[in-house]
Amino acid sequence: MSSITLKAVEKWFGNVQVIKGVDLDINEGEFVIFVGPSGCGKSTLLRMIAGLEETSRGQIMVGDRDATAEPPNKRGLAMVFQSYALYPHMSVRENVGFPLKSAGLPKPEIDAKVDEAARVLKLDAYMDRRPKDLSGGQRQRVAIGRSIVRDPTAFLFDEPLSNLDAALRVEMRYEIAKLHQTLKATMIYVTHDQVEAMTLADRIVVLEFGKIAQVGSPRELYERPANLFVAQFIGSPRMNVIDAVAAPAVKVPSTAVSFGIRPEHITLVPAGSGQIEGTVDVLEYLGADTFVIMSCGDAGQITVRVNGSSSHQPGDKAGLSFEDADVHAFDQDGLAVRER
């Protein structure tokens, strides 16, 4: 295991800059997730760390070693891609052991490492099968196993669950979380799915147009977003953002031009008794929750999260009530305004 440090890292494709001076310290044994919308640079940044993309400017440190100019095979990092990249003619055992065989390790050592990886990933019963005989989740575990046997400095995951259906993604999130607890290894993980980021990460790096918008624990990003972009990217349903002049009953700092309130922090109350008035537009019943989408005049469309089912019907009038402590204020540049 090792720490990984990025110092003023940049990536240019011709005259186009896609990574714009990223500084980041990833601690030994930490699980860090890069998240952001498509095109924000998260996969490019991961590939730069792996050595699969050249670093235009800046420095990448692996431990106390400058790895900026090193080829991928010298960095000691293991990459797990969204495509499993398994050899179809090889068994699971042969696929997992292939990196060690290529490195010329003796067979007893290969067998011992492969058996240990199979135990950790619960692949013991599948070792003689071919990839075509496995489910998507099992194939991804084989791909991870091939990385484990190399005993890498750090694991790099590039959207490893994007090819799986919803049920398998939940199962594999659990498997990856348990793997990190077992190996205590440094892991860097790229995803566009903020649920994966929130449930797996020690810290999340939110990227926007090649820059870091905010770094913090899932709780820090959810409760104290640094700007409007992070506030709306983290959380599902997304935070409601309202023009301050459209809701004069809501107290915000004088420098704030807008404020945000999360759907679960709003309570529906009788019309005339909340800070904002609205009309029920659409109900989205999800079993454990109902999303009540309100039409609120100049304040726009506001989503309210209600536990269980809601007694409201489309066309009903209601007030929207919330605590001042749950309001997030933003200035004209979209930056959070903390003072009150």
Beta-bridge partner residues of 321:
267
User: What single string gives the DSSP state of each residue in 291-332?
Assistant: EEEEE-GGG-EEEEEEES--S--TT-EEEEE--GGG-EEE-T
Residue 194: closest CA among 164, 158, 222: 222
- What is the rounded distance in angstroms from the CA atom of residue 21 to the CA atom of residue 6? 9
pLDDT per residue over 280-323, tens digit each? 999 999 999 999 999 999 999 999 999 998 889 999 999 999 99
Q: pLDDT-based confidence at 123, cuts 50/70/90?
A: confident
DSSP label at 27?
A: -
pLDDT at 172 over 90: no
pLDDT at 321: 96
**What residues does CATH 2.40.50.140 cover in the chain?**
237-337
Please tell me the distance from the alpha carbon of residue 86 to that of residue 134, in angstroms, as a whole number: 11
Q: So what's the pLDDT on residue 1?
A: 63
pLDDT of residue 121: 83
Amino acid at 90: M
Burial 89-114 (b: 16+ CB within 10 A, else e): eebbbbbbbbbbeeeebeeeebeebb
Rounded (10°) angle between helices 136-148 and 107-121: 130
Q: Does residue 222 have a pLDDT over 80?
A: yes
Token pair belonging to 38: 């498509």
* Pick from 148, 149, 170, 161: nearest CA to 192: 161
Kindly report, residue by residue over 60-119, the tens digit of the pLDDT. Answer: 999 999 999 999 988 989 888 777 778 899 999 999 998 888 888 899 999 998 998 888
What pLDDT is attached to residue 45?
A: 96
Q: Which residues contact 325 (CB under 8 A, 6 or more apart)?
A: none
Asked if the model's pLDDT at residue 340 lies above 60, the reply is: no
Q: Is the pLDDT of residue 238 over 90?
A: yes
* Look-up of token digits 């135990």: 119
pTM of the model: 0.89
Q: Which fold has domain 4-229?
A: Rossmann fold (3.40.50)
- The pair phi, psi for residue 147, each rounded to 5°, is -80, -40
Does the pLDDT at position 243 exceed 90?
yes
Within 10 Å of residue 1's Cβ, how many Cβ atoms? 17
What integer pLDDT is reported at residue 160 of this predicted model? Answer: 84
Segment 140-151, tens digit of pLDDT: 888 888 888 888
Task: Decide the pairing of beta strands 186-191 and 154-158.
Answer: parallel
Higher pLDDT residue, 14 or 1? 14
pLDDT at residue 209 in the model = 93
Least confident of 116-120, 225-229, 331-335: 116-120
Burial class (CB in 10 A: 0-12, 13-18, 19+), 34: buried
Residues 113-139: what's their mean pLDDT? 88
Tell me, what's the pLDDT at 144? 85
What was the pLDDT predicted at 178?
A: 87
Residue-wise pLDDT for 24-61, tens only, equals 999 999 999 999 998 899 999 999 999 999 999 999 99
Fold of 237-337: OB fold (Dihydrolipoamide Acetyltransferase, E2P) (2.40.50)
Reply yes or no on whether the pLDDT at 259 is more than 70.
yes
CATH 3.40.50.300 residue window(s) in the chain: 4-229
